[in-house]
Amino acid sequence: MMQNKDIKRLSLYLLFAPFALWIILLVILPHIGMVVLSLKEKIAPRVYEYSFANYLEFLHEPIYWNTLLRTGSMSLLVTALALLIGFPIAYYIAKIAGPRSRGGLFLLCLIPLWVSDLIRAFGWILLLRETGVISNFLLWTGLIGEPVEFLYNDVAVIVGLTYTVILFMIVPLVSTLDGMDNAMIEAGYNLGGSGFTVLRRIIIPYAMPGIVAGCIVTFMLTAGSYLTPILLGGKNSSWFTEQIYNQFITRFNWEGGAAFGMLLLFFTSLVIWLGLKLSGQTLANTVAKS
């Protein structure tokens, strides 16, 4: 009996080791390293001092915090759009489509998920640019007299970002709605609820874990995206990840870049935490389930 217990303990340690190595070496230590680096200030070549200088620079330079605010507000907008556009699609797939078309439609949603952001952005460039498909099509129909540039503006960035992340909203929503008993919806109608009441009082509360999971992933992916805003927004996309890249790679100011990274991480974590608190959900029953 004793021996059995020892084996159990040993196997627990053996199973814990890869997990601990992964989380400590690749997640915790790197983030501690980043915090430490972000608190360093270069006062002379190879001479550093601990201070909040990098964070103060962020506050003093309006272009930096404006970029973060812009990234944050546009990400929230994209998340809201993805939910508004995506929810009816997820509901259709889970509840309205026939059993046969349901699998097919869901598959149609899953496969583009594995196409690189780069290719999707490239596709949008070919559609939206001055010599692109849409401009050409409108010329051909005679709606416009000369080629129009649809790229390099905020609308293009928002369309591209919504496109990139919307499937991460739809897939968890479909899984959640799929588990919902149709009888619940019928009961709502039988008790005299209107379509809107049933949606608000029955369907949305039920789908909440899926909604929250979708919103968290969508928001995080949008705020952390790099390719789409740069390729579709052009020079003045001013996305915060671009600032981080500039600090790190272009200006070789790792201390500043680390501080910006921490600010982005803090900002996205704050929004995610607020979202979880307001909706009364936890990370384990939302993101982990999708």
Partner 1 sequence: MLVQKKATPFLLGYRLYVVAFFIFLAAPLISAGAFAFNDSLFPALPWQGFTLDWFFGDTEPKLGMFHDRRLLQGLYYSFVIAIFVSALSVFVGTTNAFLFVRGEFPGKNFFYIMMVVPLVIPGVILGISILVLASDTANYVENRFDLELEFLRPGILLVVVGQFSFIATITSLVITARLKKFDETMEEAAFNLGASRARVLRTITLPFLRPAMIAAGIVAFLVSFENFNTTLFLVGSEAPLTITMYDRMAKVGSTPVLNAVSFFLMVGSGLLALLSIVIQRDRSGH
Member of 120, 175, 208, 246 binding partner 1 (CB under 8 A): 120
Identify the bridge partners of residue 40 per DSSP, sorted by sequence position.
50
Member of 43, 61, 84, 88 binding partner 1 (CB under 8 A): 88
Member of 1, 3, 5, 116 binding partner 1 (CB under 8 A): 116
CB closer to partner 1, 55 vs 92: 92
Instruction: Assess 190 for contact with partner 1 (CB under 8 A).
Output: no
Q: Kindly determine how many residues on this chain lie close enough to bind partner 1 according to the rule CB under 8 A.
A: 86
Identify the bridge partners of residue 47 per DSSP, sorted by sequence position.
44
Member of 76, 80, 123, 175 binding partner 1 (CB under 8 A): 123
Instruction: Assess 283 for contact with partner 1 (CB under 8 A).
Output: yes
- Nearby residues of 27 by Cβ (< 8 Å), 6 or more positions away: none
Member of 77, 89, 138, 148 binding partner 1 (CB under 8 A): 89
Whole-angstrom distance, CA of residue 240 vs CA of residue 21: 31
User: Which of positions 50-79 make contact with partner 1 (CB under 8 A)?
Assistant: none
Q: Name the segment binding partner 1 (CB under 8 A); options: 54-62, 76-84, 148-156, 212-220.
A: 212-220
Member of 10, 43, 84, 119 binding partner 1 (CB under 8 A): 119
Per-residue x/- track, 128-167, partner 1 (CB under 8 A): ---xxx--x--------------------------x---x
Q: Name the segment binding partner 1 (CB under 8 A); options: 55-63, 76-84, 148-156, 191-199.
A: 191-199
Instruction: Assess 207 for contact with partner 1 (CB under 8 A).
Output: no
Instruction: Assess 117 for contact with partner 1 (CB under 8 A).
Output: yes
Q: Name the segment binding partner 1 (CB under 8 A); options: 10-18, 47-55, 56-64, 204-212.
A: 10-18
Instruction: Assess 204 for contact with partner 1 (CB under 8 A).
Output: no
Half-sphere exposure in the Cβ direction for 258 (13 Å, CA): 18
In this structure, how many other beta carbons lie within 10 angstroms of the beta carbon of residue 231? 21
